[in-house]
A and B are shown apart, each in its own frame.
Chain A
Amino acid sequence: MKAETHKVARLHAMLWGIFSLGGMIAAFLLPVLIYMTAIAYPYSLWPFNGARDPSFLVTGHLLGALFIFVTIAGSLYHGIFRFQSALTEVGLLKYRRALEAVGYFIIFVGIIVLAYYLVTWYLNGTIT
């Protein structure tokens, strides 16, 4: 009898875990970021109260930089992972691998650039 062989998608399982948990975290953080930058700052509400601009989030605290990184990188990653599901749903199975690769490359570059800017911002107090 022929032995069964199954190729376990271990890497995909891990990526799915990040997608699932990371997406949930990003979904909680995103409204906070939107509130801070689009509502609280322009209308001088808490925590700005007209005194500070949103850059204090990053320049003031490492946690602030981490918060922005997790929110943006998490949202981008969640988006690209869901995009590959959408490719399946619309029947683009044939082109899925290629489109996924392009998408992941763009997201990866975006996350690296984001990390660079946040680190620079945190260390120098300004983006160079």
Chain B
Amino acid sequence: MSQDIATIRVTRYRPEKDAKPFFQEYKVPYRHDMVVLDALNYIKAEIDGSLTYRWSCRMGVCGSCGANIDGEPKLTCASFLHEFKGRTITVEPMTHFPVIKDLVVDMQDFMEKLVKIKPWIIREKETPPEQGEYKQSAKELERYSQFSSCINCMLCYAACPIYGLNEKFLGPAATALAYRYIEDSRDQGKEVRFPIVHEMEGAWECTLVGECSVVCPKGVDPMLAIQKTKILGATNAIKSLLMPRGGR
């Protein structure tokens, strides 16, 4: 099989040693079926073992290998080298996150937001598995199923200009996940989750830029989830005004 040569410019940064990030250029031979992650693995194995980045599954499932490729947040395992033929490919860490080393970013803030929305089924009273499953129809599943496809790759956060300006913003993936549970017919935790997503820096901070939905590698539409969350919030607020005792 014929091989081409890709020129890859990768951000290098070791905060404890380097004053600021810099680019390092590598030449990588590639075949038609190779992706940017393969190139990074080639660099690490054959050229420079100090290059640091996250990856795991290599098949767009684990969500570990996100990076900014030519300025766009993408999974390195889903970006083919031949798509950039004749151009230098620039690989940078995802924007809006502190860099730990090279392409590895600090996920702490995202993880805290993810846990904050309580991404599990909440029941008023837990029943033991022997008493049977919590059943759900196909129609009920359809209401939230696309939002459960999120792989927590954080590309939507890297694409969101509002998160870049205000890190307190709950952000696309966490709101979409909260909405996924709000819409789940088995869940009884709306009273717990509603106040979290309806804080000023919850769904309301979103200004509908929509880049989150554009960059999602799994076809999730976080912008839609945020809009639907806002509609629920507005409806609830009006209900509670009209029916202060029972309008929740």
Within 8 A of B (CB), among A85-103: 85-86, 88-89, 91, 93
With a cutoff of 8 Å between Cβ atoms, the chain B residues found around residue A9 in the complex are: 198-200, 202, 204, 233
Q: What are 9 A-to-B residue pairs whose CB atoms are below 8 Å? A: A7-B199, A13-B198, A13-B236, A14-B237, A14-B238, A85-B208, A88-B165, A89-B161, A89-B209
Q: Chain A residues with Cβ under 8 A from B235's Cβ?
A: 17
Q: Could you say which residues of chain B place their CB within 8 Å of the CB of A91? A: 165
- The 8 Å CB contact of A88, one of B194, B205, B233, is B205
Distance of A14 Cα from B237 Cα, bound (Å): 6
Contacts between chains A and B (CB distance < 8 A), count: 61
Q: Are A8 and B194 in contact (CB under 8 A)?
A: yes
* Residues in A whose Cβ lies below 8 Å from that of B240: 10
Q: Once the chains are docked, how many angstroms separate the CA of A12 from the CA of B205?
A: 10
The prevalent SS among residues of B at the interface is helix
Assess whether B204 is in contact with A14, with CB atoms less than 8 Å apart. Answer: no
Report B176-203 CB contacts with A as 1/0, cut-off 8 Å: 0000000000000000001110111010
Number of interface residues of A (CB under 8 A): 19
Q: Is B241 an interface residue (CB 8 A)?
A: yes
Q: Is A20 an interface residue (CB 8 A)?
A: yes
- Is B111's beta carbon under 8 Å from chain A? no
In this assembly, does A104 line the interface, its C-beta being within 8 Å of a C-beta of chain B? no
A6 at the interface (CB under 8 A from B): yes
On chain A, the residues within 8 Å of B194 by CB distance are 8
- Is A85 a contact partner of B234 (Cβ separation < 8 A)? no
Whether a CB of chain A sits under 8 angstroms from the CB of B24 is no
Within 8 A of B (CB), among A1-49: 4, 6-14, 16-17, 20
- A6 → chain B closest CB, angstroms: 4
